[in-house]
Amino acid sequence: MQAEAWADAERKLALADPVALSAIELIYREARLLDDQRYRDWDELWAEGETRYVVPMRREVVDYDATLNFINDDSPMRRRRVDRMTSGHAGAVNAVGRTVRTVSRFAVDRIGDHELRVTSTEIVVAYKQGDHQVWAAELTHHILSADDRPCIRAKIVHLVDAEHTVRTCGFLL
């Protein structure tokens, strides 16, 4: 028990660690691109090869493919999502007013030689047609930090109200 806790502590990176900082910087950049609806640029932040972008409906789910999710995108599906969001023909996307989001409460773990797991919170305020909506989620990013350019291998968005009734959404979390 104690040994395990010790091992965990070893894997945890201080936020001032340059490796941790570059991952956090990436997540801030991502937040900015999503608020600006620059979805093609956002797509560039992702790793080559196998990736996963998930907004699950239950926190305890680990096998996303075996269950229904709000979003369960592999790389090709994410690109199709970007195609839709940038097509100019998606009414919900066109109607999005503005969003501003805050990402915070970072914790960074090293989970592989070149892979970090970053957990954080995300609060999005979305304004449209006289109406402010709040979206709140806990994020888990898996960041590859092999070369000098860190990139996203996976992103899981746990909405606080995932099991309840949510609004339909024309932007990304």
Partner 1 sequence: MSIDVAGRTGSDWGSLVAADRVSARVYLDPEIYEAELERIFYKTWNCVGHESEFPERGSFKTRAVGRRPVIVCRDRNDQINVLLNRCRHRGALLCEKPDGAVAGGFTCPYHSWSYALDGRLRGIPYPDGYPRDIDKSRLGLRRLRVETYAGLIFATFDENAEPLAGFLGSARRWIDLFMKQGAGYPVKVQGAFKFRYQANWKIQLENVTDGYHFPLVHRSWMANVDAQTAEMLSFMKDPEAVTYGLENGHSVGIFVPEHVDLNEDDGTEALQDRFGDLVADLQPGLPPERLRRLVRSLHGAGFNLNVFPNLALSMGFIRLLNPVAVDATDNEHMVLGYEGGPEGANRERLRIHEHFQGPFGFGTPDDSEVWARVQRGAAADPDMPILIDRGLNREEMSDEGHPRSHVTDETGMREAYRMWKRLMTDAG
Q: Which residues of the chain form contacts with partner 1 (CB under 8 A)?
A: 55, 57, 65-72, 80-81, 83-84, 87, 89-93, 95, 129, 163-170
Tokens of 96: 């999005």
Structure tokens at 157: 């968005």
Question: Are 128 and 96 spatial neighbours (Cβ–Cβ below 8 Å)?
Answer: yes
Cβ neighbours, 10 Å, residue 153 = 21
Quick one: 87 or 102, whose CB is closer to partner 1?
Answer: 87
The residue (of 32 and 81) whose beta carbon lies closer to partner 1 is 81
| 8-state DSSP, 46 | B
* Minimal distance, residue 42 CB to partner 1, in Å: 15
Find the DSSP H helices in 12-135.
18-35, 39-43, 75-86, 91-94
Residue 88 Cβ vs partner 1, minimum distance, rounded to whole Å: 8
- Quote the least distance from Cβ 131 to partner 1, whole Å: 8
Q: Which is nearer to partner 1, 12 or 81 (CB)?
A: 81
